[in-house]
């Protein structure tokens, strides 16, 4: 199996699982999406094991990838924190669902920051 076939199969698996999850959630079936996601992960893992070619990445691409993910992480955290706090403030005079979404955003930012600190200390200890 070459790289092009591998990428096409992974995209097909992703699209198929997304369609199954979409229609399952619409029909109020919440067991089938979990099974679809697990099956998609296992199928992609099996395909990865069958893929024999080595995909090499140079240091420049790896460095650019790390920089872009750090920038997107920072931008998302700032935007989610501002949006979450704004929704919490607007929920005082508006629907209660704004507060639920706001707290979800704010706590997800907190969770991501905790994960970032743990990963930093773990990577600093290892390497």
Q: What is the pLDDT of residues 64-80, one digit of tens each?
A: 999 999 999 999 999 99
Confidence bin at 13 (pLDDT 50/70/90): very high
* 127 neighbors 119 (Cβ within 8 angstroms): no
State the Cα–Cα distance between residues 121 and 119, nearest whole angstrom. Answer: 6
* 2 neighbors 9 (Cβ within 8 angstroms): no
Q: pLDDT at position 55, please?
A: 62
The DSSP symbol for 53 reads S
Q: pLDDT at position 38, please?
A: 94
Confidence bin at 126 (pLDDT 50/70/90): confident
Q: For the chain, give every domain's residue range.
A: 3-50, 59-126
pLDDT for 76-110, tens place per residue? Answer: 999 999 999 999 999 988 888 899 999 999 999 99
Q: pLDDT at position 7, please?
A: 87
Q: pLDDT at position 54, please?
A: 64
Element (H, E) at 7: helix 3-26
Q: pLDDT at position 56, please?
A: 67
């Amino acid at each position: 199996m070459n790289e092009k076939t591998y990428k096409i199969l992974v995209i097909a698996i992703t699209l198929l699982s997304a369609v199954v999850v979409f229609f399952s959630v619409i029909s109020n079936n919440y067991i089938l999406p979990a099974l679809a996601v697990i099956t998609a992960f296992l199928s992609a893992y099996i395909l990865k094991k069958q893929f024999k070619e080595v995909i090499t990445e140079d240091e420049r691409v790896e460095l650019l990838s790390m920089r872009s993910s750090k920038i997107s992480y920072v931008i998302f955290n700032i935007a989610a924190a501002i949006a979450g706090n704004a929704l919490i403030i607007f929920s005082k005079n508006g629907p209660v669902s704004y507060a639920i979404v706001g707290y979800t955003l704010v706590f997800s930012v907190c969770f991501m920051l905790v994960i970032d600190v743990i990963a930093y200390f773990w990577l600093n200890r290892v390497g």
